[in-house]
Chains A and B, each alone.
Chain A
Amino acid sequence: MRALARYTTIVIVFIAMSGCKTTYNADTTPGNELQKEGAVVFVRPDKYSILGTRSIRDYIEVAYEQIGANEAGYPEVAIGLRNRGGQHFWDVKGPSVQLSVQTAFYNSPIQPKGAASGPAVYRTNWQTIKLVRGQTFDYKVVCPVKGANYYQMTLSEYLK
Protein backbone atom coordinates (compact mmCIF):
# COMPACT_ATOMS: atom_id res chain seq x y z
CA MET A 1 0.00 0.00 0.00
CA ARG A 2 2.88 2.24 0.75
CA ALA A 3 4.33 1.54 -2.64
CA LEU A 4 0.97 2.38 -4.20
CA ALA A 5 0.86 5.67 -2.38
CA ARG A 6 4.42 6.42 -3.50
CA TYR A 7 3.56 5.74 -7.11
CA THR A 8 0.40 7.81 -6.92
CA THR A 9 2.39 10.73 -5.59
CA ILE A 10 4.88 10.41 -8.41
CA VAL A 11 1.99 10.34 -10.90
CA ILE A 12 0.44 13.49 -9.48
CA VAL A 13 3.78 15.27 -9.57
CA PHE A 14 4.31 14.12 -13.17
CA ILE A 15 0.90 15.34 -14.27
CA ALA A 16 1.31 18.60 -12.43
CA MET A 17 4.70 19.17 -14.05
CA SER A 18 3.50 18.46 -17.55
CA GLY A 19 0.46 20.67 -16.96
CA CYS A 20 2.59 23.59 -15.79
CA LYS A 21 4.31 23.92 -19.14
CA THR A 22 2.45 26.64 -21.03
CA THR A 23 4.86 27.39 -23.83
CA TYR A 24 6.66 25.16 -26.25
CA ASN A 25 9.45 25.90 -28.61
CA ALA A 26 8.34 26.55 -32.17
CA ASP A 27 9.95 24.55 -34.90
CA THR A 28 12.35 26.44 -37.11
CA THR A 29 12.69 25.80 -40.80
CA PRO A 30 15.73 23.65 -41.44
CA GLY A 31 18.50 25.76 -42.94
CA ASN A 32 19.41 23.11 -45.46
CA GLU A 33 15.84 23.17 -46.79
CA LEU A 34 15.91 26.93 -47.21
CA GLN A 35 19.24 26.81 -48.95
CA LYS A 36 17.76 24.63 -51.69
CA GLU A 37 15.17 27.26 -52.59
CA GLY A 38 15.87 29.22 -55.74
CA ALA A 39 14.65 32.61 -56.93
CA VAL A 40 11.54 31.18 -58.55
CA VAL A 41 9.68 28.53 -56.63
CA PHE A 42 6.47 26.63 -57.13
CA VAL A 43 4.26 25.90 -54.16
CA ARG A 44 3.89 22.21 -53.42
CA PRO A 45 0.83 20.71 -55.12
CA ASP A 46 -2.31 20.71 -53.06
CA LYS A 47 -3.69 17.52 -54.59
CA TYR A 48 -2.20 14.14 -55.25
CA SER A 49 -3.90 11.41 -57.28
CA ILE A 50 -2.94 7.94 -58.47
CA LEU A 51 -1.76 9.35 -61.76
CA GLY A 52 0.23 12.47 -61.07
CA THR A 53 -0.56 15.53 -59.04
CA ARG A 54 -2.21 18.85 -59.51
CA SER A 55 1.20 20.42 -59.64
CA ILE A 56 1.49 23.61 -61.64
CA ARG A 57 5.06 22.56 -62.24
CA ASP A 58 3.75 19.88 -64.58
CA TYR A 59 2.43 22.54 -66.93
CA ILE A 60 4.27 25.77 -66.27
CA GLU A 61 7.83 26.48 -67.17
CA VAL A 62 9.96 29.56 -66.78
CA ALA A 63 10.92 30.76 -70.25
CA TYR A 64 13.25 33.48 -69.01
CA GLU A 65 14.14 35.25 -65.81
CA GLN A 66 15.77 38.65 -65.60
CA ILE A 67 16.61 41.00 -62.77
CA GLY A 68 17.76 44.52 -63.40
CA ALA A 69 16.96 48.11 -62.61
CA ASN A 70 14.54 50.28 -64.51
CA GLU A 71 15.35 53.79 -65.76
CA ALA A 72 14.71 55.26 -62.31
CA GLY A 73 16.94 52.70 -60.62
CA TYR A 74 14.21 50.59 -59.02
CA PRO A 75 14.75 46.82 -59.06
CA GLU A 76 12.76 45.14 -61.79
CA VAL A 77 12.16 41.45 -62.24
CA ALA A 78 10.91 40.15 -65.56
CA ILE A 79 9.93 36.55 -65.93
CA GLY A 80 8.43 34.63 -68.82
CA LEU A 81 5.91 32.04 -67.69
CA ARG A 82 4.78 29.56 -70.29
CA ASN A 83 1.99 27.07 -70.15
CA ARG A 84 3.54 24.19 -72.05
CA GLY A 85 0.42 22.04 -71.89
CA GLY A 86 0.17 18.42 -70.81
CA GLN A 87 3.40 16.46 -70.72
CA HIS A 88 2.08 13.13 -69.51
CA PHE A 89 0.55 10.22 -71.34
CA TRP A 90 -2.58 10.54 -69.23
CA ASP A 91 -2.87 14.22 -69.96
CA VAL A 92 -1.37 15.34 -73.23
CA LYS A 93 -3.57 18.38 -73.55
CA GLY A 94 -3.14 20.14 -70.27
CA PRO A 95 -5.35 22.82 -68.78
CA SER A 96 -5.37 26.58 -68.88
CA VAL A 97 -3.87 27.59 -65.59
CA GLN A 98 -4.66 30.32 -63.11
CA LEU A 99 -1.72 31.26 -60.98
CA SER A 100 -1.20 33.43 -57.96
CA VAL A 101 2.24 34.98 -57.90
CA GLN A 102 3.94 36.79 -55.07
CA THR A 103 7.35 38.37 -55.28
CA ALA A 104 9.48 39.26 -52.29
CA PHE A 105 12.45 41.59 -52.57
CA TYR A 106 15.46 41.55 -50.27
CA ASN A 107 18.34 43.91 -49.85
CA SER A 108 20.82 41.14 -49.12
CA PRO A 109 21.59 38.00 -51.12
CA ILE A 110 19.02 35.25 -50.65
CA GLN A 111 21.78 32.65 -50.97
CA PRO A 112 23.53 30.88 -49.33
CA LYS A 113 21.02 30.92 -46.47
CA GLY A 114 17.82 30.99 -48.50
CA ALA A 115 15.27 33.70 -49.17
CA ALA A 116 13.10 33.00 -46.16
CA SER A 117 16.03 33.34 -43.76
CA GLY A 118 15.44 37.11 -43.49
CA PRO A 119 12.60 39.60 -43.74
CA ALA A 120 11.63 40.92 -47.14
CA VAL A 121 12.04 44.63 -47.78
CA TYR A 122 9.04 44.59 -50.04
CA ARG A 123 6.48 41.96 -50.85
CA THR A 124 3.85 42.25 -53.54
CA ASN A 125 0.35 40.99 -53.04
CA TRP A 126 -0.64 37.70 -54.60
CA GLN A 127 -1.23 38.69 -58.18
CA THR A 128 -3.34 36.59 -60.47
CA ILE A 129 -2.12 35.38 -63.83
CA LYS A 130 -4.17 33.42 -66.29
CA LEU A 131 -2.18 31.28 -68.70
CA VAL A 132 -4.05 29.62 -71.51
CA ARG A 133 -2.42 26.60 -73.07
CA GLY A 134 0.67 27.54 -75.02
CA GLN A 135 0.74 31.13 -73.80
CA THR A 136 3.82 32.87 -72.54
CA PHE A 137 3.08 35.59 -70.06
CA ASP A 138 5.62 38.36 -69.62
CA TYR A 139 5.29 39.09 -65.96
CA LYS A 140 7.12 42.11 -64.64
CA VAL A 141 7.39 43.43 -61.11
CA VAL A 142 9.03 46.65 -60.05
CA CYS A 143 10.03 47.01 -56.43
CA PRO A 144 9.40 50.53 -55.06
CA VAL A 145 12.39 50.20 -52.73
CA LYS A 146 15.75 50.98 -54.25
CA GLY A 147 18.61 48.60 -53.52
CA ALA A 148 16.41 45.56 -52.98
CA ASN A 149 18.16 43.65 -55.72
CA TYR A 150 17.46 40.12 -54.53
CA TYR A 151 14.15 38.42 -54.91
CA GLN A 152 12.16 35.28 -54.66
CA MET A 153 9.05 34.69 -56.69
CA THR A 154 6.52 32.18 -55.44
CA LEU A 155 4.05 30.66 -57.86
CA SER A 156 1.01 28.99 -56.46
CA GLU A 157 -2.28 27.63 -57.63
CA TYR A 158 -4.95 30.32 -57.70
CA LEU A 159 -5.67 31.28 -54.10
CA LYS A 160 -9.12 30.18 -53.11
Chain B
Amino acid sequence: MRNIKGLTVSFFNRSYSHTVSVLLVTGATLCLTMISGCATPISTGTSHTTILAPDEDDRVGGSFIESSDIRTVAQQVCSEVLTLPQVDKSSKTLNIATDRIKNSTRYMVDTDVLLRRMRLDLNKYSQGRLRFFANDSGQNTRTRILRERSQTDVEKTLDDAASYIASSKVIQSAEKPVRIAVKPTVNTNLFNMNADSFASLLRTKIKEKAEAKVLFAQAGSNTAVDYTLTGEFFVQSTKTEGVANTMEDLKWAQNNPDKYYDINDNTQNNTVYGNQVNLDASGRRIKIGPNIIYKAIDPALWNSPNATQWFNIMLVDKDGMAVLEKGIKLEEQIKSGQEKADYILTGEIGSLSKGGEGRRSDYVLITLNLIDPVSNEILWEYGYEVKRVTTRSVLYQ
Protein backbone atom coordinates (compact mmCIF):
# COMPACT_ATOMS: atom_id res chain seq x y z
CA MET B 1 0.00 0.00 0.00
CA ARG B 2 2.86 2.27 0.87
CA ASN B 3 4.43 1.38 -2.36
CA ILE B 4 1.20 1.87 -4.09
CA LYS B 5 0.71 5.12 -2.19
CA GLY B 6 4.21 6.23 -3.11
CA LEU B 7 3.54 5.44 -6.69
CA THR B 8 0.31 7.32 -6.56
CA VAL B 9 2.02 10.38 -5.05
CA SER B 10 4.77 10.17 -7.58
CA PHE B 11 2.24 9.86 -10.38
CA PHE B 12 0.35 12.89 -9.05
CA ASN B 13 3.56 14.89 -8.70
CA ARG B 14 4.55 14.15 -12.25
CA SER B 15 1.06 14.88 -13.53
CA TYR B 16 0.99 18.21 -11.61
CA SER B 17 4.38 19.40 -12.93
CA HIS B 18 3.35 18.47 -16.44
CA THR B 19 0.10 20.49 -16.15
CA VAL B 20 2.03 23.50 -14.85
CA SER B 21 4.44 23.30 -17.77
CA VAL B 22 1.58 23.08 -20.21
CA LEU B 23 -0.16 26.04 -18.59
CA LEU B 24 3.04 28.08 -18.63
CA VAL B 25 3.64 27.36 -22.27
CA THR B 26 0.02 28.13 -23.10
CA GLY B 27 0.17 31.38 -21.12
CA ALA B 28 3.38 32.42 -22.81
CA THR B 29 1.83 31.50 -26.14
CA LEU B 30 -1.23 33.61 -25.49
CA CYS B 31 0.93 36.52 -24.34
CA LEU B 32 3.07 36.32 -27.44
CA THR B 33 0.02 35.99 -29.65
CA MET B 34 -1.59 39.01 -28.02
CA ILE B 35 1.59 41.04 -28.22
CA SER B 36 2.05 40.24 -31.87
CA GLY B 37 -1.64 40.90 -32.50
CA CYS B 38 -1.54 44.27 -30.79
CA ALA B 39 -0.29 45.98 -33.90
CA THR B 40 0.19 49.67 -33.37
CA PRO B 41 -0.19 51.96 -36.35
CA ILE B 42 3.03 53.22 -37.78
CA SER B 43 4.01 56.65 -36.64
CA THR B 44 3.13 59.16 -39.31
CA GLY B 45 4.50 62.07 -37.35
CA THR B 46 7.72 63.74 -38.37
CA SER B 47 10.34 64.81 -35.96
CA HIS B 48 10.44 68.52 -36.68
CA THR B 49 7.52 69.29 -38.93
CA THR B 50 3.80 69.14 -38.49
CA ILE B 51 1.53 69.10 -41.48
CA LEU B 52 -1.24 71.64 -41.19
CA ALA B 53 -4.46 71.92 -43.10
CA PRO B 54 -4.16 75.05 -45.23
CA ASP B 55 -6.96 76.66 -43.24
CA GLU B 56 -5.44 75.84 -39.90
CA ASP B 57 -3.91 78.51 -37.69
CA ASP B 58 -0.17 77.96 -37.50
CA ARG B 59 0.12 79.70 -34.12
CA VAL B 60 3.20 81.50 -35.27
CA GLY B 61 1.64 84.87 -34.71
CA GLY B 62 1.27 87.87 -36.94
CA SER B 63 -1.66 90.06 -37.69
CA PHE B 64 -1.72 90.09 -41.48
CA ILE B 65 -3.66 87.83 -43.84
CA GLU B 66 -3.32 84.08 -43.54
CA SER B 67 -3.58 81.24 -46.00
CA SER B 68 -7.19 80.69 -44.90
CA ASP B 69 -8.02 84.26 -45.96
CA ILE B 70 -6.52 83.67 -49.41
CA ARG B 71 -8.52 80.47 -49.78
CA THR B 72 -11.70 82.15 -48.61
CA VAL B 73 -11.21 85.03 -51.03
CA ALA B 74 -10.61 82.58 -53.87
CA GLN B 75 -13.75 80.62 -53.01
CA GLN B 76 -15.94 83.69 -52.80
CA VAL B 77 -14.47 85.36 -55.89
CA CYS B 78 -14.97 82.20 -57.94
CA SER B 79 -18.65 82.02 -57.02
CA GLU B 80 -19.21 85.73 -57.56
CA VAL B 81 -17.43 85.95 -60.92
CA LEU B 82 -19.26 82.93 -62.31
CA THR B 83 -22.54 84.45 -61.16
CA LEU B 84 -21.96 87.73 -63.02
CA PRO B 85 -24.43 88.09 -65.91
CA GLN B 86 -21.56 89.09 -68.22
CA VAL B 87 -19.94 85.74 -67.48
CA ASP B 88 -22.94 83.51 -66.90
CA LYS B 89 -24.87 84.68 -69.94
CA SER B 90 -21.90 84.99 -72.27
CA SER B 91 -22.18 82.72 -75.28
CA LYS B 92 -18.43 82.77 -75.92
CA THR B 93 -15.34 81.96 -73.91
CA LEU B 94 -14.20 85.03 -72.05
CA ASN B 95 -10.53 85.91 -71.97
CA ILE B 96 -9.32 87.37 -68.71
CA ALA B 97 -6.04 89.21 -68.39
CA THR B 98 -4.64 89.46 -64.91
CA ASP B 99 -2.65 92.31 -63.52
CA ARG B 100 -0.50 92.21 -60.42
CA ILE B 101 -2.44 92.90 -57.24
CA LYS B 102 -1.11 96.09 -55.76
CA ASN B 103 0.23 95.72 -52.27
CA SER B 104 -0.27 98.92 -50.31
CA THR B 105 0.43 97.40 -46.93
CA ARG B 106 3.56 97.51 -44.81
CA TYR B 107 4.15 93.83 -45.50
CA MET B 108 6.28 92.48 -48.30
CA VAL B 109 4.16 89.63 -49.58
CA ASP B 110 3.80 87.94 -52.92
CA THR B 111 0.34 89.01 -54.05
CA ASP B 112 0.59 86.62 -57.00
CA VAL B 113 -0.33 83.84 -54.56
CA LEU B 114 -3.80 85.31 -54.23
CA LEU B 115 -4.11 85.76 -57.98
CA ARG B 116 -3.00 82.20 -58.65
CA ARG B 117 -5.35 80.74 -56.05
CA MET B 118 -8.28 82.60 -57.59
CA ARG B 119 -7.28 81.51 -61.07
CA LEU B 120 -7.12 77.93 -59.85
CA ASP B 121 -10.75 77.96 -58.71
CA LEU B 122 -12.00 79.93 -61.69
CA ASN B 123 -10.31 77.61 -64.14
CA LYS B 124 -11.65 74.58 -62.32
CA TYR B 125 -15.26 75.59 -61.97
CA SER B 126 -15.81 77.76 -65.05
CA GLN B 127 -15.47 74.62 -67.15
CA GLY B 128 -13.71 76.38 -69.98
CA ARG B 129 -15.90 79.48 -70.05
CA LEU B 130 -13.03 81.57 -68.76
CA ARG B 131 -9.51 81.64 -70.16
CA PHE B 132 -6.50 83.29 -68.58
CA PHE B 133 -3.29 84.46 -70.19
CA ALA B 134 0.05 83.13 -69.02
CA ASN B 135 2.15 86.04 -67.88
CA ASP B 136 5.36 84.51 -66.64
CA SER B 137 5.32 80.76 -66.71
CA GLY B 138 6.36 79.02 -69.89
CA GLN B 139 7.24 82.20 -71.72
CA ASN B 140 10.82 81.27 -72.62
CA THR B 141 9.73 77.97 -74.11
CA ARG B 142 6.82 79.66 -75.84
CA THR B 143 9.20 82.14 -77.49
CA ARG B 144 11.48 79.32 -78.59
CA ILE B 145 8.59 77.32 -80.04
CA LEU B 146 7.19 80.29 -81.93
CA ARG B 147 10.60 81.26 -83.29
CA GLU B 148 11.21 77.71 -84.50
CA ARG B 149 7.78 77.53 -86.09
CA SER B 150 8.47 80.86 -87.72
CA GLN B 151 11.68 79.47 -89.24
CA THR B 152 9.77 76.51 -90.64
CA ASP B 153 7.15 78.85 -92.05
CA VAL B 154 9.87 80.96 -93.73
CA GLU B 155 11.03 77.99 -95.76
CA LYS B 156 7.52 77.37 -96.99
CA THR B 157 6.96 81.05 -97.72
CA LEU B 158 10.20 81.22 -99.69
CA ASP B 159 9.04 78.19 -101.66
CA ASP B 160 5.74 79.90 -102.41
CA ALA B 161 7.49 83.12 -103.45
CA ALA B 162 9.89 81.21 -105.73
CA SER B 163 6.96 79.35 -107.32
CA TYR B 164 5.15 82.64 -107.78
CA ILE B 165 8.06 84.15 -109.69
CA ALA B 166 8.97 80.99 -111.60
CA SER B 167 5.41 80.43 -112.77
CA SER B 168 4.78 84.09 -113.64
CA LYS B 169 4.07 85.15 -117.20
CA VAL B 170 7.29 87.15 -117.23
CA ILE B 171 9.30 83.96 -116.97
CA GLN B 172 7.02 81.41 -118.57
CA SER B 173 6.09 83.42 -121.70
CA ALA B 174 9.62 84.55 -122.44
CA GLU B 175 10.98 83.08 -125.63
CA LYS B 176 14.53 83.01 -124.39
CA PRO B 177 15.82 82.28 -120.88
CA VAL B 178 15.27 85.32 -118.73
CA ARG B 179 18.50 86.81 -117.48
CA ILE B 180 18.30 88.05 -113.91
CA ALA B 181 20.81 89.83 -111.73
CA VAL B 182 20.54 89.85 -107.97
CA LYS B 183 20.96 93.22 -106.35
CA PRO B 184 21.67 93.48 -102.64
CA THR B 185 18.53 94.03 -100.68
CA VAL B 186 17.82 97.13 -98.73
CA ASN B 187 17.22 97.33 -95.02
CA THR B 188 14.51 99.87 -94.44
CA ASN B 189 14.05 100.17 -90.72
CA LEU B 190 16.02 97.15 -89.66
CA PHE B 191 19.72 97.36 -89.06
CA ASN B 192 22.30 94.64 -88.69
CA MET B 193 19.94 92.13 -90.28
CA ASN B 194 21.28 90.04 -93.11
CA ALA B 195 18.66 90.08 -95.83
CA ASP B 196 21.08 89.02 -98.58
CA SER B 197 20.99 85.42 -97.39
CA PHE B 198 17.24 85.34 -98.01
CA ALA B 199 17.75 86.78 -101.46
CA SER B 200 20.33 84.10 -102.23
CA LEU B 201 18.07 81.37 -100.94
CA LEU B 202 15.21 82.70 -103.01
CA ARG B 203 17.41 82.87 -106.11
CA THR B 204 18.33 79.20 -105.66
CA LYS B 205 14.73 78.17 -105.28
CA ILE B 206 13.63 80.16 -108.34
CA LYS B 207 16.32 78.45 -110.36
CA GLU B 208 15.21 75.03 -109.08
CA LYS B 209 11.62 75.70 -110.10
CA ALA B 210 12.12 77.61 -113.36
CA GLU B 211 15.10 75.49 -114.45
CA ALA B 212 16.31 76.61 -117.90
CA LYS B 213 13.80 79.42 -118.09
CA VAL B 214 16.00 81.68 -115.99
CA LEU B 215 19.65 82.50 -115.88
CA PHE B 216 21.13 84.31 -112.95
CA ALA B 217 24.10 86.59 -113.41
CA GLN B 218 27.05 86.29 -111.09
CA ALA B 219 26.97 88.78 -108.26
CA GLY B 220 28.94 91.92 -109.13
CA SER B 221 29.23 91.14 -112.87
CA ASN B 222 28.27 93.74 -115.45
CA THR B 223 26.48 91.31 -117.72
CA ALA B 224 23.47 92.73 -119.46
CA VAL B 225 20.31 91.35 -117.86
CA ASP B 226 16.56 91.55 -118.46
CA TYR B 227 15.52 91.90 -114.86
CA THR B 228 16.96 92.56 -111.46
CA LEU B 229 15.88 90.56 -108.43
CA THR B 230 15.99 92.81 -105.44
CA GLY B 231 14.07 93.45 -102.32
CA GLU B 232 13.55 95.30 -99.19
CA PHE B 233 13.89 94.05 -95.66
CA PHE B 234 11.68 95.89 -93.24
CA VAL B 235 9.98 95.54 -89.94
CA GLN B 236 6.39 96.26 -89.11
CA SER B 237 7.21 99.02 -86.70
CA THR B 238 7.19 102.78 -86.64
CA LYS B 239 10.74 102.89 -85.33
CA THR B 240 14.04 101.40 -86.36
CA GLU B 241 14.67 97.94 -84.95
CA GLY B 242 17.71 95.71 -84.93
CA VAL B 243 20.30 93.88 -82.93
CA ALA B 244 23.34 95.53 -81.45
CA ASN B 245 26.30 93.85 -83.05
CA THR B 246 29.81 94.67 -81.95
CA MET B 247 31.40 93.37 -85.12
CA GLU B 248 29.19 95.48 -87.32
CA ASP B 249 29.82 98.43 -85.14
CA LEU B 250 33.59 98.10 -85.39
CA LYS B 251 33.42 97.46 -89.11
CA TRP B 252 31.40 100.58 -89.58
CA ALA B 253 33.79 102.49 -87.37
CA GLN B 254 36.74 101.41 -89.53
CA ASN B 255 34.94 102.42 -92.69
CA ASN B 256 33.99 105.78 -91.28
CA PRO B 257 36.96 106.90 -89.23
CA ASP B 258 36.12 110.56 -89.40
CA LYS B 259 32.60 110.03 -88.22
CA TYR B 260 33.26 107.49 -85.57
CA TYR B 261 36.62 107.71 -83.94
CA ASP B 262 37.48 110.53 -81.73
CA ILE B 263 40.53 111.97 -83.38
CA ASN B 264 41.25 114.37 -80.54
CA ASP B 265 43.58 111.99 -78.73
CA ASN B 266 40.95 110.69 -76.37
CA THR B 267 42.28 107.17 -76.36
CA GLN B 268 42.84 105.90 -72.84
CA ASN B 269 44.03 102.45 -71.80
CA ASN B 270 43.32 100.89 -75.18
CA THR B 271 39.81 102.29 -75.09
CA VAL B 272 38.75 104.56 -77.88
CA TYR B 273 36.03 107.01 -77.18
CA GLY B 274 33.77 108.19 -79.91
CA ASN B 275 30.44 109.68 -80.71
CA GLN B 276 27.82 107.05 -81.27
CA VAL B 277 24.91 107.93 -83.47
CA ASN B 278 21.97 106.31 -81.74
CA LEU B 279 18.85 104.91 -83.31
CA ASP B 280 16.86 107.92 -82.32
CA ALA B 281 19.45 110.04 -84.15
CA SER B 282 20.79 111.47 -80.91
CA GLY B 283 24.52 111.56 -80.35
CA ARG B 284 26.23 109.99 -77.41
CA ARG B 285 29.81 109.74 -76.31
CA ILE B 286 30.58 106.10 -75.65
CA LYS B 287 33.45 103.70 -75.44
CA ILE B 288 34.22 101.76 -78.56
CA GLY B 289 36.98 99.35 -79.43
CA PRO B 290 38.20 96.53 -77.18
CA ASN B 291 36.20 97.60 -74.17
CA ILE B 292 33.01 98.39 -75.90
CA ILE B 293 29.97 98.04 -73.74
CA TYR B 294 27.23 97.66 -76.22
CA LYS B 295 24.43 97.19 -73.79
CA ALA B 296 25.04 100.71 -72.64
CA ILE B 297 23.85 102.03 -75.95
CA ASP B 298 20.37 100.64 -75.79
CA PRO B 299 19.54 97.41 -73.91
CA ALA B 300 16.63 96.82 -76.25
CA LEU B 301 19.11 96.29 -79.07
CA TRP B 302 20.75 93.36 -77.33
CA ASN B 303 18.03 90.93 -78.38
CA SER B 304 16.45 90.27 -81.71
CA PRO B 305 13.57 92.70 -82.10
CA ASN B 306 10.18 91.32 -81.25
CA ALA B 307 8.46 92.69 -84.33
CA THR B 308 7.00 91.22 -87.47
CA GLN B 309 9.72 91.17 -90.10
CA TRP B 310 8.98 91.29 -93.82
CA PHE B 311 11.03 90.66 -96.92
CA ASN B 312 9.55 92.32 -99.94
CA ILE B 313 10.90 90.67 -103.11
CA MET B 314 10.78 92.54 -106.42
CA LEU B 315 11.63 91.71 -110.02
CA VAL B 316 12.61 95.01 -111.61
CA ASP B 317 12.88 95.60 -115.36
CA LYS B 318 15.43 97.69 -117.23
CA ASP B 319 13.37 100.82 -116.71
CA GLY B 320 13.47 100.35 -112.97
CA MET B 321 9.84 99.30 -112.77
CA ALA B 322 8.85 96.37 -110.55
CA VAL B 323 7.05 93.86 -112.73
CA LEU B 324 6.58 91.39 -109.92
CA GLU B 325 6.39 91.97 -106.23
CA LYS B 326 5.65 89.72 -103.27
CA GLY B 327 5.88 90.16 -99.53
CA ILE B 328 7.26 87.34 -97.41
CA LYS B 329 6.70 87.34 -93.70
CA LEU B 330 9.95 86.18 -92.16
CA GLU B 331 9.23 86.43 -88.49
CA GLU B 332 6.02 87.06 -86.64
CA GLN B 333 5.93 89.30 -83.63
CA ILE B 334 5.41 87.26 -80.47
CA LYS B 335 2.47 88.81 -78.73
CA SER B 336 1.20 88.23 -75.22
CA GLY B 337 -2.24 87.53 -76.66
CA GLN B 338 -3.81 89.97 -74.24
CA GLU B 339 -5.19 92.09 -77.05
CA LYS B 340 -8.04 89.57 -77.06
CA ALA B 341 -8.77 90.06 -73.36
CA ASP B 342 -12.38 90.79 -72.53
CA TYR B 343 -11.71 91.77 -68.94
CA ILE B 344 -8.86 92.52 -66.57
CA LEU B 345 -8.82 90.93 -63.14
CA THR B 346 -6.79 92.88 -60.65
CA GLY B 347 -6.99 94.39 -57.20
CA GLU B 348 -5.29 95.89 -54.23
CA ILE B 349 -4.46 94.94 -50.66
CA GLY B 350 -4.56 97.82 -48.23
CA SER B 351 -4.17 97.91 -44.49
CA LEU B 352 -4.52 100.07 -41.47
CA SER B 353 -1.82 99.12 -39.02
CA LYS B 354 -1.37 99.96 -35.38
CA GLY B 355 1.22 99.03 -32.81
CA GLY B 356 1.87 99.68 -29.17
CA GLU B 357 2.74 98.05 -25.85
CA GLY B 358 3.90 94.90 -27.55
CA ARG B 359 0.71 94.48 -29.53
CA ARG B 360 0.16 95.01 -33.20
CA SER B 361 -3.07 95.07 -35.10
CA ASP B 362 -3.91 95.18 -38.78
CA TYR B 363 -7.15 95.86 -40.51
CA VAL B 364 -6.70 94.45 -44.00
CA LEU B 365 -8.96 95.19 -46.92
CA ILE B 366 -8.59 93.12 -50.07
CA THR B 367 -10.40 94.56 -53.05
CA LEU B 368 -10.61 92.87 -56.41
CA ASN B 369 -12.20 94.10 -59.56
CA LEU B 370 -12.99 93.17 -63.08
CA ILE B 371 -12.29 95.96 -65.56
CA ASP B 372 -13.42 96.40 -69.12
CA PRO B 373 -10.17 97.24 -71.00
CA VAL B 374 -11.89 99.35 -73.66
CA SER B 375 -14.24 101.47 -71.60
CA ASN B 376 -12.08 101.23 -68.43
CA GLU B 377 -15.27 100.66 -66.47
CA ILE B 378 -15.18 98.57 -63.33
CA LEU B 379 -17.60 95.79 -64.02
CA TRP B 380 -17.50 94.14 -60.61
CA GLU B 381 -15.82 94.78 -57.33
CA TYR B 382 -15.28 92.49 -54.39
CA GLY B 383 -14.13 93.26 -50.89
CA TYR B 384 -12.82 91.07 -48.10
CA GLU B 385 -11.85 92.48 -44.76
CA VAL B 386 -10.21 91.03 -41.71
CA LYS B 387 -8.77 92.49 -38.54
CA ARG B 388 -6.25 90.76 -36.34
CA VAL B 389 -4.27 91.68 -33.29
CA THR B 390 -1.17 89.87 -32.15
CA THR B 391 1.34 89.98 -29.38
CA ARG B 392 3.92 88.35 -31.60
CA SER B 393 4.97 90.21 -34.71
CA VAL B 394 6.32 88.00 -37.42
CA LEU B 395 8.02 88.41 -40.73
CA TYR B 396 5.79 87.91 -43.75
CA GLN B 397 7.31 87.12 -47.13
Q: Which residue of B lies closest to A73 (CB)?
A: B88
Contacts of A70 in B (CB 8 A): 83
Interface size classification for chain B: 20 to 34
Choose one: B26, B29, B82; the contact of A144 (CB below 8 Å).
B82
Contacts of B29 in A (CB 8 A): 7, 10-11, 14-15
What's the nearest-Cβ distance from chain A to residue B360, in Å?
A: 18
Interface centre among A7, A11, A141, A144 (most CB of B within 10 A): A144
What's the nearest-Cβ distance from chain B to residue A79, in Å?
A: 15
Contacts of B21 in A (CB 8 A): 4
Bound-state Cα–Cα, A10 to B25, Å: 10
Contact, CB under 8 Å: A74 / B22 = no
Contact, CB under 8 Å: A125 / B79 = no
Instruction: Please classify the interface of chain B as helix (H, G, I), strand (E, B), loop, or mixed, using the class held by over half of its residues.
Output: helix
Contact, CB under 8 Å: B25 / A18 = no
> In this assembly, does B54 line the interface, its C-beta being within 8 Å of a C-beta of chain A?
yes
Contacts of B69 in A (CB 8 A): 128
> In this assembly, does B326 line the interface, its C-beta being within 8 Å of a C-beta of chain A?
no
> In this assembly, does B248 line the interface, its C-beta being within 8 Å of a C-beta of chain A?
no
Bound-state Cα–Cα, A14 to B37, Å: 10
> In this assembly, does A127 line the interface, its C-beta being within 8 Å of a C-beta of chain B?
yes
Contact, CB under 8 Å: B33 / A15 = yes
Q: Which residue of B lies closest to A24 (CB)?
A: B39
Contacts of B80 in A (CB 8 A): 142
Bound-state Cα–Cα, A96 to B18, Å: 72
Q: How many residues of A contact B (CB 8 A)?
A: 31
Contact, CB under 8 Å: B57 / A160 = yes
Contact, CB under 8 Å: B72 / A128 = yes
Q: Which chain B residues in 69-125 approach chain A with CB under 8 Å?
A: 69, 71-72, 75-76, 78-80, 82-85, 88, 121, 125
Contact, CB under 8 Å: A144 / B78 = yes
Q: A3-B22, A14-B33 are in contact. Are A125 and B72 (CB under 8 A)?
A: yes
Contacts of A24 in B (CB 8 A): 39
Q: Which chain A residues in 1-55 approach chain B with CB under 8 Å?
A: 3-4, 7-8, 10-11, 14-15, 18-19, 24
Contact, CB under 8 Å: A144 / B33 = no
Contact, CB under 8 Å: A128 / B83 = no
Contact, CB under 8 Å: B55 / A126 = yes
> In this assembly, does A87 line the interface, its C-beta being within 8 Å of a C-beta of chain B?
no
Contact, CB under 8 Å: B53 / A159 = yes
Contacts of B84 in A (CB 8 A): 72
Bound-state Cα–Cα, A100 to B344, Å: 32
Interface centre among B57, B72, B78, B79 (most CB of A within 10 A): B79
> In this assembly, does B335 line the interface, its C-beta being within 8 Å of a C-beta of chain A?
no
Choose one: B26, B32, B57, B72; the contact of A158 (CB below 8 Å).
B57
Q: A125-B72, A144-B125 are in contact. Are A72 and B32 (CB under 8 A)?
A: no
Contacts of B280 in A (CB 8 A): none
A residues near B (Cβ < 8 Å) are 3-4, 7-8, 10-11, 14-15, 18-19, 24, 70-74, 100, 122, 124-128, 141-145, 158-160
A7-B29, A145-B125 known, 8 other contacts, Cβ within 8 Å: A8-B25, A11-B28, A15-B29, A126-B53, A127-B72, A142-B76, A159-B53, A160-B57
List 18 contacting pairs A-B, 8 Å CB cutoff, sorted by A: A4-B21, A7-B25, A7-B29, A10-B29, A11-B25, A18-B33, A18-B36, A18-B37, A71-B83, A125-B72, A125-B75, A126-B56, A127-B68, A127-B75, A128-B72, A142-B79, A144-B79, A144-B121
